[in-house]
């Protein structure tokens, strides 16, 4: 059996081995290499307990035999192979299951609290441990998206976007557990499907089925904005629907030809929106102009941006997750396609603290955890849901969240996540 | 001998003639005859001599000599010689005879003139010896009494001419020889021509030889022939120049060679080269096939040559042993190595007749007859090549390929679905008596309206500024306002429905009853109820969203289609006659046309002119559904006999293309509003999506390519997919089935 010269290295100080080339069988797989490292570590440190490792050859996870991997990647077997090893991410296990009354349309996680929007026209606040804290009711139709705005000590600002064409800005006092609608944001003429708060928490952007993006101020005030109401609108109805002070948009960004499905802030000046017209557009918030357009071939359902790797991930109706570089001018260039889902990808989210990891949810009832270094297959399939998955998110502590049409919000915890957070 | 007999006959005739002639001249004539005959063959001479008792039997010339000798003068010897020469010339050169004959004739004339006494002088044809004036015009002596001078210089006097005209005439009348009497100008005397002379003249006038006996066509003696003669014709030795090379020619040849070398003379071109350019080879290309035929020829199989086994006395190793013989007998005749048993005979004499001879010949004949003598050229037609070149479905993307969402909630079969013009909502009508509104992207049923009857058809108002849904159930058409749009839109649709209060009394005929709904129904969003006299099967909106057509299929009545105007709450029956069971109706997307599909055909009416514009004949038994292309120039029809027919209205009233891909009745067909797609749904549970590009160019026919078969619906109660419709903006297709589900394929 042929042998290969390999040198092992790792970022993790805990598991460093000597920096000398080892001769290892070319046919060895991940488990074999993991055993080798464990042997070495045991030889170095008697108190070492066996740890499963994953191996990266030139930035790609080893998933097959070492020789075949190197053959497919075109790596010479004559030289000494540099192999990085990291502690293997253990399979995330569903930790909590939060039952809702209706389908969960959206989820937004804080470090402490989880905000979910539901098809029962309410938003709910949960603690990370899965305790229902608050039900925010006020919309006259399905809540399509939710977002946290800001937390000042015990009071938090949160946003709900609804099919009834309005967004509500709520103020929630976690100590007294009181929620109050501060502003009712009117202006969209279609269901508001997505909302995103800017990094500073002073503005937010909403995207709607009416093809518009609107920028709003997120700062609560005590004055209602002037709203031009049609004259023949029944007074009575207006009164009953009125909840909080009316707010009008600061700016309207129009350019999409179809419904806007997802919106996010790349930084405090740039908004990125995905639409059913097969495009992702970047907007300059200061001027209100469109900067660049990335054109795909299918409807985009969701996008997510990671400031760590500066990549945009999009989920679309053709089952693929695509990674884009938003800074390219001409756009349209897909860096990577992650293909494993069998239904529409309805949600995708980058890990807040990990450069390579993202989680995706799909209509095929699966949540998948991806590592961009292993683009052929996801790291793990999380098959907890019994129905369509509509939303996924990460907490700042690395907890994964997913909600869907089975009325359940699951939280998943992975050992390595904690480790990463701790490190 | 024949010749001689002939001549004797001739001679007898001559004798007769002679008897006719004057007796006094007999002797002279005999002489003349002799003379004439002398010119002829010697054999004749002989006979004559025999008869006339002439004296000589010598040579040919002897007779003449005799005659000459009769009136012999000394002077005449040399003249005789001349005659001799003449005669010899006549014999040798037959060509020149005529002249000689003439001269002889002249001589005879002279003889007659001078009569007997002058005769002896008559030996020269050069000169008339009787008159010495010579060859001068005789009129010179016209005025003289004489006519010339004789040899002695004495005058020759003209004969006394005392005859006057009368005498001449009498003479002419009475003298039988007048016609043969001529005047001799030389002597002025009259001469009567003898029979022979007359004959001679006649012959000469006819252009014949003067001599009767002369044979013009004597056999020619060929001296110089190809036959090699035993002896040389000439005895002359060969010329020296015939065997010495000519210096002159050598000089000429060397000059020519030099000129050719120097290029002054161009050698003559090869005539074959010349012909190659000038003539077209008609068969140049033809014989390749002929050659090919020869090349494909297979020679007849050869008979194997006899070996030692066939020998009459083979070496013992070729003879069968007992085992071999047993094996040979056991084997099938086909399997045997040899068809015979080798046998040994001491001599060839003892070899019996070969018993299998006839059999073997027959087999050989079979070989020759059954063996293919020509290689068969098999034309390898690739079946793929026969299929018309169509673009690959891959190149025609986007089109729906996979099932993405299933909308569950109905409890009965879903008869009809319709997508809102914005593409956000899907309305479905089911046999469970409910109309449901679904959010397309999440398959969430947001609203359920119980209408209290099996819903046959739902149709979303295509006008994006209003949000209304027409629902057909039982004998009523309901207008629903689902309030699933912007406030403005909801308000405008409310306005549309509530406008016509003042126009209400006008509405027609009591056919239909428009009524506002109240109470529970109003809360559900049902705004209007249009009560029809019969069960309504289908509703269809006009593009503008104000007119609504409803279909009440009925065999017996002309009241099958009603067109309602929602804003004025008016209804009218556009047709006065029953043209067949109406299956489906549709408005033209752009122009004021109205499509009515009956069982066998589709009629297109012009709503402005109110007449029939076109009648399309679908080659199917029972049309089930119809869809009009958004451009308005194409129509597809599905039929219960599994066919889908595409009509190009500009092309023909016959289907441009018939698609028979479904195995069961086609229930529904649909066009996409933006993408070049159309689809058909059938009872076999499948939806077939086809690419159908329509070109603005009138010369180019639509390109129709089936691209995808979508399956997903479960067949329940023999029913599969009942309705199919496209998303207004995305290449997505919705289908509703008898399994109470609606499915979205993307």
Q: For B720-731, how does the pLDDT look when each residue is reduced to its tens digit (9 = 90+)?
A: 898 999 988 888
Q: Identify the pLDDT of residue B46.
A: 42
- Nearest residue on chain B to A341, alpha-carbon basis: B404
The pair of three-digit structure tokens given for residue B436, joined into one six-digit string: 């449901």
- Say whether residue B746 is in contact with chain A using an 8 A CB cutoff: yes
Each residue of B491-506: b (16+ CB within 10 Å) or e? bbbbebbeebeeeeee
Q: Maximum CA pair distance of chain A?
A: 86
Q: What is the dihedral of CA B569, B575, B581, B585, to 10 degrees?
A: -50
CB A185 within 8 A of CB A223: no
Helix, strand or coil, per DSSP, at residue B659: strand
The pair of three-digit structure tokens given for residue A186, joined into one six-digit string: 């009117």
- Nearest residue on chain B to A190, alpha-carbon basis: B486
pLDDT digits (tens, 9 = 90+) for A78-103: 778 888 888 777 778 888 888 888 88
3-state secondary structure chain A: CCEEEEEEECCCHHHCCCCCCEEEECCCCHHHHHHHHHHHHHHHCCCCCCCCEEEEECCEECCCCHHHHHHHHCCCCCCCEEEEEEECCCCCEEEEEEECCCCEEEEEECCCEEEEEECCCEEEEEECCCCEEEEEECCCCCEEEEEEEEEECCEEEEEEEECCCCEEEEEEECCCCEEEEEEEECCCCCCEEEEEECCCCCEEEEEECCCEEEEEECCCCCCCCCCCCCCCCCHHHHHHHCCCEEECCCEEEECCCCCEEEEEEEECCEEEEEECCCEEEEEECCCCEEEEEEECCCCEEEEEEECCCCEEEEEECCCEEEEECCCCCCCCCEEEEEECCCCCEEEEEECCCCCCEEEEEECCCCEEEEECCECCCCCEEECCCCCCEEEEEECCCCCEEEEECCCEEEEEECHHHHHHHHC
- pLDDT category at A329 given cuts 50, 70, 90 is low
- Check CB contact under 8 Å for B424 and A210: no
CA–CA gap between residue B142 and residue B132 (Å, rounded): 16
The pair of three-digit structure tokens given for residue B447, joined into one six-digit string: 């609203």
- Check CB contact under 8 Å for B424 and A165: no
- Check CB contact under 8 Å for A363 and B404: yes
Q: In terms of C-beta distances under 8 Å and separation of at least 24 residues, what long-range contacts does B67-74 make, across chains too? A: B67/B31, B67/B34, B67/B35, B67/B38, B68/B123, B70/B31, B71/B119, B71/B120, B72/B120, B73/B120, B73/B121
CB B298 within 8 A of CB B371: yes
Percent of residues, chain B, with pLDDT higher than 70: 78
Show residues of chain B in contact with A405, CB under 8 Å.
Answer: 442-444
Residue B234, burial from CB neighbour count under 10 angstroms (0-12, 13-18, 19+): exposed
CB B631 within 8 A of CB B687: no
- Check CB contact under 8 Å for B405 and A259: no
The residue to which tokens 């959206």 are assigned:
A106
The pair of three-digit structure tokens given for residue B148, joined into one six-digit string: 């010339």
The residue to which tokens 């109660």 are assigned:
B717
Sheet containing strand B634-639, edge to edge, reads B623-628, B634-639, B644-648, B657-659
- Nearest residue on chain B to A362, alpha-carbon basis: B404
Least trusted range by pLDDT, from B102-111, B324-333, B714-723:
B102-111
- Say whether residue B395 is in contact with chain A using an 8 A CB cutoff: no
- pLDDT category at B8 given cuts 50, 70, 90 is low
Q: Identify the pLDDT of residue A140.
A: 84
CA–CA gap between residue A377 and residue A26 (Å, rounded): 23
- Say whether residue B398 is in contact with chain A using an 8 A CB cutoff: yes
CA–CA gap between residue B197 and residue B191 (Å, rounded): 11
- Say whether residue A363 is in contact with chain B using an 8 A CB cutoff: yes
* Cα distances (angstroms) measured from residue B559 to each of A225, A414, B382, B554: 57, 71, 56, 8
Q: How far is CA B352 from the centre of its chain?
A: 64
Residue A108, burial from CB neighbour count under 10 angstroms (0-12, 13-18, 19+): buried
Helix, strand or coil, per DSSP, at residue B134: coil
Does B28 or B476 have the greater pLDDT score? B476
DSSP B301: P
- Say whether residue A407 is in contact with chain B using an 8 A CB cutoff: no
Percent of residues, chain B, with pLDDT higher than 90: 6
- Say whether residue B40 is in contact with chain A using an 8 A CB cutoff: no
Residue B146 CB contacts under 8 Å (≥ 6 apart), including other chains: B155, B156, B157, B158
Average pLDDT, whole number, for chain B? 77
The pLDDT of A404-421, averaged and rounded, is 70
Q: Identify the pLDDT of residue B75.
A: 42
DSSP B522: H
| Pairing status of strand A3-9 against strand B190-192 | unpaired
CB B220 within 8 A of CB B212: no
For residue B485, give how far its alpha carbon lies from the nearest alpha carbon of chain A (Å): 7
- Check CB contact under 8 Å for B730 and A103: no
Backbone angles phi, psi at B670, to 5 degrees: -155, 145
For residue A189, give how far its alpha carbon lies from the nearest alpha carbon of chain B (Å): 5
- Check CB contact under 8 Å for A318 and B446: no
3-state secondary structure B252-284: HHHHHHHHHHHCCCCCCCCHHHHHHHHCCCCCC
Cβ-based contacts under 8 A for chains A and B: 58
- Say whether residue A149 is in contact with chain B using an 8 A CB cutoff: no
Residue B45 has pLDDT above 80, yes or no: no
3-state secondary structure B216-238: CCCCCCCCCCCCCCCCCCCCCCC
- Say whether residue A343 is in contact with chain B using an 8 A CB cutoff: yes
The pLDDT of B669-681, averaged and rounded, is 90
Show residues of chain B in contact with A343, CB under 8 Å.
Answer: 404
- Nearest residue on chain B to A233, alpha-carbon basis: B491
Q: Identify the pLDDT of residue B116.
A: 52
The pair of three-digit structure tokens given for residue B322, joined into one six-digit string: 């007992």
CB B87 within 8 A of CB B96: no
Q: How far is CA A397 from the centre of its chain?
A: 14
Does B744 or B3 have the greater pLDDT score? B744
Chain B from 491 to 520: CB within 8 A of any A CB: 491
Mutation pick from A296, A298, A299, A342 vs chain B, by most beta carbons of B within 10 Å, is A299
CA–CA gap between residue A236 and residue B626 (Å, rounded): 47
Average pLDDT, whole number, for chain A? 81
Q: What is the dihedral of CA B710, B714, B720, B726, to 10 degrees?
A: -40
- pLDDT category at B398 given cuts 50, 70, 90 is confident
Least trusted range by pLDDT, from A380-389, B490-499, B583-592:
B490-499
Closest CB to B729 among A191, A210, A258: A258
Backbone angles phi, psi at B495, to 5 degrees: -60, -40
For residue A101, give how far its alpha carbon lies from the nearest alpha carbon of chain B (Å): 14
Residue B32 has pLDDT above 60, yes or no: no
Q: For chain B, how big is the Rg over CA atoms in Å?
A: 67
Show residues of chain B in contact with A258, CB under 8 Å.
Answer: 423, 729
- Say whether residue B730 is in contact with chain A using an 8 A CB cutoff: yes
pLDDT digits (tens, 9 = 90+) for B237-288: 888 888 888 899 999 999 999 999 998 988 777 666 555 566 777 777 666 6
pLDDT digits (tens, 9 = 90+) for B141-197: 888 888 888 888 888 888 777 778 888 888 888 888 888 888 887 777 788 888 888
Show residues of chain B in contact with A299, CB under 8 Å.
Answer: 730, 746
Query: Alpha helices, DSSP H only, in B337-401?
Result: 357-370, 383-386
CA–CA gap between residue B529 and residue B514 (Å, rounded): 6
Q: Identify the pLDDT of residue B98.
A: 45
Nearest Cα neighbor of B689 from B418, B402, B390 is: B402
- Check CB contact under 8 Å for B398 and A297: yes
- Say whether residue A162 is in contact with chain B using an 8 A CB cutoff: no
Residue A214 has pLDDT above 80, yes or no: yes
For residue A59, give how far its alpha carbon lies from the nearest alpha carbon of chain B (Å): 34
Does B741 or A22 have the greater pLDDT score? B741
* Cα distances (angstroms) measured from residue B382 to each of B385, B386, B387, B393: 5, 7, 10, 21
Q: Identify the pLDDT of residue B92.
A: 45
- pLDDT category at B60 given cuts 50, 70, 90 is very low
Nearest Cα neighbor of B30 from B211, B196, B214 is: B196
Nearest Cα neighbor of B686 from B710, B660, B714 is: B710
CA atoms within 13 A on the CB side of B612: 12
CA–CA gap between residue A264 and residue A275 (Å, rounded): 12
**Which residues on adjacent β-strands are paired with residue B595?**
B586, B604
The pair of three-digit structure tokens given for residue A141, joined into one six-digit string: 């139709």
The pair of three-digit structure tokens given for residue B202, joined into one six-digit string: 């006649």
CA–CA gap between residue B303 and residue B538 (Å, rounded): 85
Tell me which range, A419-423, B121-125, B515-519, is most confidently predicted by mean pLDDT. B515-519
Q: Identify the pLDDT of residue B124.
A: 52
Each residue of B349-360: b (16+ CB within 10 Å) or e? eeeeeeeeeeee
* Count of other CB atoms within 10 angstroms of residue B538: 26
Mutation pick from A344, A347, A407 vs chain B, by most beta carbons of B within 10 Å, is A344
CA–CA gap between residue A226 and residue A205 (Å, rounded): 20
- Check CB contact under 8 Å for B442 and A388: yes
DSSP B215: -
Residue B21 has pLDDT above 60, yes or no: no
- Check CB contact under 8 Å for B446 and A142: yes
* Count of other CB atoms within 10 angstroms of residue B346: 9
CB B666 within 8 A of CB B638: yes
- Check CB contact under 8 Å for A318 and B488: no
Q: Identify the pLDDT of residue B254.
A: 95
Whether the ω angle into residue B398 lies within 30 degrees of 0, i.e. cis, is yes
CA–CA gap between residue A360 and residue B282 (Å, rounded): 79
For residue B725, give how far its alpha carbon lies from the nearest alpha carbon of chain A (Å): 19
- Check CB contact under 8 Å for A232 and B746: no
- Say whether residue A230 is in contact with chain B using an 8 A CB cutoff: yes
pLDDT digits (tens, 9 = 90+) for B95-120: 444 444 445 555 555 444 445 555 55
């Amino acid at each position: 059996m042929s042998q290969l010269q390999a040198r092992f290295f790792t970022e993790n100080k805990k598991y460093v081995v000597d920096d000398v080339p080892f001769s290892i069988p070319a046919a060895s797989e991940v488990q074999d290499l993991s055993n080798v490292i464990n042997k070495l570590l045991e030889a170095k440190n008697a108190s070492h307990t066996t740890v499963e490792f994953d191996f990266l050859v030139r930035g790609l996870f080893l998933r097959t035999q070492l020789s075949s991997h190197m053959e497919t990647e075109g790596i010479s077997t004559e030289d000494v192979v540099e192999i990085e090893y990291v502690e293997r991410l253990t399979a995330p296990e569903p930790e909590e299951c939060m039952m809702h009354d209706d389908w969960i349309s959206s989820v937004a996680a804080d470090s402490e609290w989880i905000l979910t929007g539901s098809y029962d026209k309410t938003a709910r606040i949960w603690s990370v441990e899965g305790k229902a804290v608050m039900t925010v009711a006020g919309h006259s139709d399905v809540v399509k998206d939710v977002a946290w705005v800001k937390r000042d000590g015990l009071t938090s600002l949160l946003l709900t976007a609804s099919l009834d064409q309005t967004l509500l800005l709520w103020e929630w006092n976690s100590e007294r557990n009181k929620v109050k609608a501060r502003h009712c944001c009117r202006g969209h003429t279609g269901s508001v499907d997505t909302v995103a708060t800017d990094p500073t928490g002073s503005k937010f952007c909403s995207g709607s089925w009416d093809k518009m993006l609107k920028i709003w101020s997120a700062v609560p005030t005590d004055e209602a904005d002037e709203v031009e109401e049609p004259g023949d609108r029944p007074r009575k109805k207006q009164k009953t629907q009125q909840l909080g002070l009316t707010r009008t948009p600061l700016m309207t960004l129009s350019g999409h030809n179809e419904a806007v499905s997802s919106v996010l802030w790349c930084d405090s000046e740039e908004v990125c929106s995905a639409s059913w017209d097969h495009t992702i557009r970047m907007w300059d918030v200061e001027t209100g102009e469109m900067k660049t357009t990335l054109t795909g071939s299918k409807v985009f359902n969701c996008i997510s941006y990671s400031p760590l790797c500066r990549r945009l991930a999009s989920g679309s109706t053709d089952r693929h997750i695509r990674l884009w570089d938003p800074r390219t001018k001409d756009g349209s260039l897909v860096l990577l396609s992650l293909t494993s889902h069998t239904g529409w990808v309805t949600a995708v989210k980058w890990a807040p603290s990990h450069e390579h990891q993202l989680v995706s949810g799909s209509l095929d009832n699966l949540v998948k955890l991806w590592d961009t270094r292993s683009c052929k297959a996801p790291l793990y399939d999380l098959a907890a849901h019994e129905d369509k998955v509509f939303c996924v998110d990460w907490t700042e502590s690395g907890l994964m969240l997913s909600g869907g049409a089975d009325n359940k919000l699951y939280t998943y915890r992975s050992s390595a996540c904690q480790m990463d957070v701790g490190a | 001998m024949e010749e001689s007999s002939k001549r004797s006959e001739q001679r007898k005739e001559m004798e007769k003639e002679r008897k006719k002639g004057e007796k006094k001249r007999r002797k002279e004539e005999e002489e003349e005859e002799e003379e004439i005959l002398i010119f002829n063959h010697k054999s004749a001479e002989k006979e004559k001599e025999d008869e006339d008792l002439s004296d000589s039997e010598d040579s040919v010339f002897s007779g003449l000599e005799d005659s000459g000798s009769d009136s012999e003068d000394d002077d005449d010897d040399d003249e005789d010689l001349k005659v001799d020469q003449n005669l010899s010339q006549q014999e040798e050169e037959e060509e020149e005879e005529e002249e000689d004959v003439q001269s002889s004739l002249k001589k005879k004339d002279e003889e007659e003139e001078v009569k007997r006494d002058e005769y002896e002088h008559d030996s020269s044809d050069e000169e008339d010896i009787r008159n010495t004036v010579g060859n001068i015009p005789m009129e010179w002596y016209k005025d003289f009494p004489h006519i010339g001078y004789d040899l002695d210089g004495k005058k020759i006097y003209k004969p006394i001419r005392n005859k006057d005209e009368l005498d001449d005439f009498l003479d002419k009348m009475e003298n039988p020889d007048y016609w043969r009497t001529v005047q001799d100008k030389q002597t002025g005397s009259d001469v009567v021509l003898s029979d022979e002379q007359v004959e001679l003249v006649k012959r000469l006038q006819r252009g014949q030889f003067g001599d009767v006996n002369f044979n013009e066509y004597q056999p020619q003696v060929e001296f110089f022939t190809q036959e090699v003669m035993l002896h040389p014709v000439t005895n002359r030795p060969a010329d020296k120049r015939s065997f010495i090379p000519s210096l002159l020619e050598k000089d000429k040849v060397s000059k020519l060679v030099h000129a050719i070398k120097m290029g002054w003379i161009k050698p003559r071109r090869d005539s074959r080269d010349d012909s190659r350019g000038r003539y077209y080879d008609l068969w140049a290309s033809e014989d390749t096939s002929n050659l090919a035929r020869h090349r494909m020829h297979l020679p007849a199989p050869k008979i194997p040559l006899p070996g030692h086994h066939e020998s009459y006395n083979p070496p013992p190793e070729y003879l069968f042993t007992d085992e071999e013989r047993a094996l040979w007998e056991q084997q099938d005749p086909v399997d045997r190595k040899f068809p015979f048993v080798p046998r040994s005979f001491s001599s060839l004499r003892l070899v019996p007749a070969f018993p299998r001879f006839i059999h073997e010949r027959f087999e050989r004949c079979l070989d020759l007859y059954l063996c293919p003598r020509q290689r068969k050229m098999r034309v390898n037609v690739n079946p793929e090549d026969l299929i018309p070149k169509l673009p690959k479905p891959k190149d025609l993307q986007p089109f729906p390929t996979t099932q993405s969402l299933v909308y569950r909630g109905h409890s009965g079969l879903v008869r009809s679905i319709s997508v809102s013009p914005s593409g956000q909502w899907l309305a479905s009508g089911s046999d469970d008596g409910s109309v449901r509104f679904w959010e397309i992207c999440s398959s969430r049923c947001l609203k359920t309206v119980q209408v209290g009857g099996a819903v046959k058809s739902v149709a979303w108002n295509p006008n994006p500024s209003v949000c209304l849904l027409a629902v057909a159930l039982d004998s009523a058409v309901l207008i629903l306002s689902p309030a699933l749009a912007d406030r403005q839109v909801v308000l405008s649709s409310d306005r549309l429905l509530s406008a016509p209060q003042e126009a209400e009394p006008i509405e027609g005929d009591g056919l239909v009853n428009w009524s506002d709904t109240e109470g529970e129904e109003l809360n559900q969003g049902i705004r209007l109820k249009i009560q029809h006299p019969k069960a309504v099967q289908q509703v269809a909106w006009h593009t503008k969203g104000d007119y609504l057509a409803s279909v009440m299929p009925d065999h017996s009545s002309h009241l099958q289609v009603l067109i309602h105007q929602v804003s004025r709450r008016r209804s009218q029956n556009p047709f006065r006659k029953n043209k067949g069971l109406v299956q489906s109706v549709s408005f033209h997307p752009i122009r004021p046309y109205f499509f009515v599909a009956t069982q066998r055909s589709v009629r297109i009416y012009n709503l402005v002119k109110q007449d029939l514009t076109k009648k399309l004949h679908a080659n199917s038994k029972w049309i089930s559904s119809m869809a009009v292309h958004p451009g308005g120039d194409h129509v597809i029809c599905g039929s219960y006999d599994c066919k889908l027919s595409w009509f190009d209205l500009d092309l023909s009233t016959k289907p441009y293309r018939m698609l028979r891909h479904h195995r069961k009745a086609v229930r529904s067909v649909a066009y996409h509003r933006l993408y070049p797609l159309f689809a058909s749904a059938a009872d076999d549970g499948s939806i077939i999506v086809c690419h159908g590009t329509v070109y603005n160019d009138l010369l180019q026919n639509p390109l129709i390519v089936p691209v995808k078969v979508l399956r997903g619906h479960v067949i329940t109660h023999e029913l599969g997919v009942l309705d199919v419709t496209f998303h207004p903006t995305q290449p997505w297709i919705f289908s509703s089935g008898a399994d109470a589900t609606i499915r979205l394929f993307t």
